[in-house]
Amino acid sequence: MRVNIEVNGEQRVADTVWEGESLLYVLRERLGLPGSKNACEQGECGSCTVYLDDVAVCACLVAAGQAEGRSVRTVEGLADGDRLDPMQQAFVEAGAVQCGFCTPGLIVAAHDLVRRNPRPSDLEIRESLAGNLCRCTGYEKILDAVRLAAERMGASGGTA
């Protein structure tokens, strides 16, 4: 089947999509957007987290057909040209990236948190990232990055 999706502000079309295919597969394999990672395929790891109509979801659990006519924002859509989103910048500076596989999902999940809650407590950060697994960092640097980004985004008075 054919699926029409607005992805990162651009109208995209995917053809020959299998009816049981996930949004994640369409993004990665058909639309050339490999930022969202494919790991567990069961919603456990969060590495495929994207915005679907502005709501953070696991792209592996969305049937491609369910995204028809909707808007998707992936990690590739966060930066403004060469200028990283403050959350991406904070991950770089805080050393929150090791192997990098979980990073796109964590950045989208953290981006969503700070957008909804500009001054999250540590408990709220932990709760908001509970659906994202990282096997390298032990999470401490990730928490540092989220705190740093929240501070900066709060100070600049706006979010991306």
> Using CB under 8 A, which residues numbered 90 to 149 contact another protein?
109, 112, 127-128, 130-132
For another protein, the closer CB: 83 or 117: 117
Tokens 């981006």 belong to which residue?
Answer: 111
Shortest spacing between CB 106 and another protein, in angstroms: 12
Residue 49 is a binding residue for another protein (CB under 8 A): yes
**Contact between 13 and 3 (Cβ < 8 Å):** yes
For residue 160, which of 110, 121, 123 has the smallest C-alpha distance?
A: 110
Residue 13 is a binding residue for another protein (CB under 8 A): no
Beta bridge partners of 11: 6
Beta bridge partners of 72: 7, 52
Q: What's the CA gap between 96 and 98, in Å, rounded?
A: 7
Residue 55 is a binding residue for another protein (CB under 8 A): yes
Shortest spacing between CB 82 and another protein, in angstroms: 29
Residue 34 is a binding residue for another protein (CB under 8 A): no
Strand 49-52, strand 10-14: pairing:
unpaired
Q: Where on the chain is the footprint of another protein (CB under 8 A)?
A: 1, 18-20, 22, 41-44, 46, 49, 55-58, 60-63, 65-66, 68, 109, 112, 127-128, 130-132
